[in-house]
A = this chain, B = another copy of it.
Amino acid sequence: MPIAHAHAQADVEDARSAITIAGLPGSIRPGGSTHLVVRTALEGAAESGVRTIMLDLGSYDVPLCDGVHPDVDAPTGVLRLRHDLRAVQGIILGTPEYHGSYSGALKTALDWLGFEEFAGKMVGVSGGQMGALHAIDALRTVGRALHAWVVPEQAAVAEIRRYVDAEGRLTDERLRQRLMAVGRQVAQFASLHNSAGAREFLDLWEAAPDNPGARGT
């Protein structure tokens, strides 16, 4: 194996092991289909070799948000949620679709969060239960406002209940693959953007002098 290649291989392995992807379902019902959707997307990330962590929105006991609050002034549950999300490099958001958009529960959580939890990170969006295409679109706008990279892959699941069996497992393999593809893309590009090689590349990029000779037409 050539040295450069070995170097790259090590870089991939380092990157994988340094990456954690969090799943945040926008539902406070742990057994619901939104949790299933996010858990499935996380499996796609986990298969790539990164660490994954499933967050349970209900357990943070987040109150309604009335504006910007720095850490010193935020409720305990919010502080814990911020802490957990600051530690990860990618986030899978999932949401049911209520009244043509994402859940108020998820948006309430997001209202308490900000650039520190999202900016520059990879974010994947997915949704279950009754459509969710509108909800996912609206989440993309929110992700953008948070300066995250919302990855191109997404999975909007119309009528997810048709694809879940009595034990709460997905019965549709194509749907499972689509959800896992979201997790995989988040994991892959979170790893790439956080790899030693990419970090050096981006630093050198910023530092390099202009190259006016290369300017175009």
Known A66-B27, A140-B140, A210-B47; contact A12-B217, beta-carbon cutoff 8 A: no
Which of B46, B99, B104, B134 interacts with A137 by CB under 8 Å? Answer: B134
A46-B105 in contact (CB<8A)? no
Assuming A28-B64, A149-B152, is B12 touching A204 (CB within 8 A)? yes
Shortest distance between the CB of A35 and any CB in chain B (Å): 11
* Residue tally, chain A, CB below 8 Å to B: 89
Contacts of A205 in B (CB 8 A): 12, 48, 188, 191-192
Q: Do residues B99 and A142 form an inter-chain contact, with CB atoms below 8 A?
A: yes
Binary CB contact string for chain A from 183 to 202 against chain B (1 if under 8 A, 0 otherwise): 00000100111010110111
Question: Which of B96, B99, B138, B198 is close to A101, meaning CB atoms less than 8 Å apart?
Answer: B138
Q: How far is the CA of A205 from the CA of B149 in the complex (A)?
A: 20
22 CB contacts below 8 A, A to B, read: A8-B197, A8-B200, A16-B211, A27-B67, A28-B64, A46-B215, A46-B216, A49-B214, A51-B215, A54-B216, A99-B146, A100-B141, A104-B106, A104-B107, A105-B108, A120-B152, A134-B141, A137-B141, A140-B141, A149-B151, A192-B193, A198-B198
Question: In the complex, which residues of chain B have a beta carbon less than 8 angstroms from the beta carbon of A101?
Answer: 107, 138, 141-142, 145
Copies in the complex: 4
A12/B138 in contact, CB under 8 A: no
Q: Mark A42-79, 1 if CB is under 8 A from B, else 0.
A: 10001111111110001000101111000000000000
Besides A47-B210, A99-B142, 15 other A-B contacts (C-beta < 8 A): A8-B200, A12-B208, A20-B216, A48-B210, A52-B217, A53-B217, A98-B107, A99-B111, A100-B145, A101-B142, A104-B104, A131-B133, A158-B158, A198-B198, A198-B201
